[in-house]
Structure 1
Amino acid sequence: MTAAQTYYREPGWITKRIFNPLIAGLTRLGISVWGSRVLEVRGRTSGEPRQVPVNLLRYEGEAYLVAPRGQAQWVRNVRADGGRLDLLLGKRREHWLAVELDDEEKLPVLKAYLRKWKAEVGVFFDGVDADSPESELRRIAPRHPAFRLERRRG
């Protein structure tokens, strides 16, 4: 495995214990914080539903998910479940199929993601931001899985 295939930045105590539960709680109440959703996917080992807050990016008429921390558990679970996932906002549940982007396809998506959420997730992108040269985006792209979402029926 390459370094990019194993890259992951563990969330700190404040993120795990305060920030993520707060955002997930607000999202479960139907309050989206800058596009937040609760992603639900079947655990690849347990088969049980797993939930995590994510930022849903709307870009050029499409919906995307980016993993700013790298090869997160939700990324592995989505891959293992054939791309099937649900996004929750309050009582609303949307069924999606996640199609993983290759590194070249990711570049404009990463740029849009960083433009919108740099203040929140910029630290995970090694100093690269939306105004960085394409060569810098290309350098970090392998570390950050990104998915285009397609609607699916239940």
Structure 2
Amino acid sequence: MSTLGLPAWLPFANRVVRGLNRLGLRLGTIHVLTVAGRRSGVPRPTPVSPLTLSGHRYVVAGLPEGDWARNVRAAGRGELSAGRRSVPVTLHEVQDPQVKQRVMRAFPKEVPGGVPFFVKLGLVGRGDPEEFAAAADRVAVFEIAGGGRPD
């Protein structure tokens, strides 16, 4: 594990996912969210897995103070890509603890491929929805608005 709690292999895996996305290949629920860097303004792409709950789309940052979450807070907008299709989006951090709990409770069912990542971060021990809901205060949840859907 790296010093931020991220697996050491994650930067390499993210590069592979971004490359496959540029080629038009999809990996499950994974999209690429590109936002401007908060200091440099340079576009920063990161793989994310949006989920839909009650007609609203969300992404979850397992490390709320990780670079991509801080960049989203600073930029408030970006581009969401699925394969070769991209749409502009705005992102708003969810503050309501009940909404965050509902999103996290839905996460293991809606994004089953993301469960091992949250286990590796130590946020949950397994894919239990109630365990995910209990971790809601330790993650950042962003609502995705506008732009339609790239998929």
TM-score range, shorter chain: 0.7 to 0.9
Q: Which amino acid aligns with 1:26?
A: L
What is the match of residue 101 of structure 1? 94
> What letter is aligned with 1:16?
P
Gaps of 5+ in 2: none
User: Which residue does 2:52 correspond to in 1?
Assistant: 58
Shift of 1:56: 1.6
What is the CA–CA distance in structure 1 between the aligned matches of 2:6 and 2:79, rounded to whole Å? 22
Pair 1:149 & 2:144 matched: yes
Q: Does residue 13 of the first structure (1) align with residue 8 of the second (2)?
A: yes
Tell me how far 1:104 sits from its aligned partner.
2.0
Spell out the pairing of 1:1-154 with structure 2 (5 A cutoff).
9-17=4-12, 19-81=13-75, 83-102=76-95, 103-115=97-109, 116=112, 117-124=114-121, 125-127=123-125, 129-132=127-130, 137-138=133-134, 140-152=135-147
In structure 1, C-alpha distance between the alignment counterparts of 2:126 and 2:71, rounded to whole Å: 27
The equivalent residue for 1:5 is none
User: Where in structure 1 do 4 or more consecutive aligned residues deviate above 4 Å?
Assistant: none
1:12 is displaced (CA, Å) by 2.3
TM-score by length of 2: 0.80
Q: TM-score, normalised by structure 1?
A: 0.78
Gapped regions of structure 1 (runs ≥ 5): 1-7
Pair 121,32 (structure 1): closer, same or farther in 2 beyond 3 Å: farther
- Superposed CA deviations along residues 120-153 of structure 1, whole A, max 9, x for unmatched, are 43332232643336xx724x22221001111149
Note the alpha carbon deviations across 1:12-64, whole angstroms, 9 max, x for none.
Answer: 222222x2222222222222212111111011111111111111212332211
Q: Distance in 2 between matches of 1:42 and 1:31?
A: 24
Could you tell me whether the CA contact under 8 Å between 2:24 and 2:83 is conserved in 1?
yes
CA 59–65 in structure 1, closer or farther in 2 if over 3 Å, else same? same
Q: Distance in 1 between matches of 2:102 and 2:16?
A: 30
- The 3 A distance-change label for structure 1 pair 148 and 67 is same
Q: Partner letter of residue 121 of structure 1?
A: F
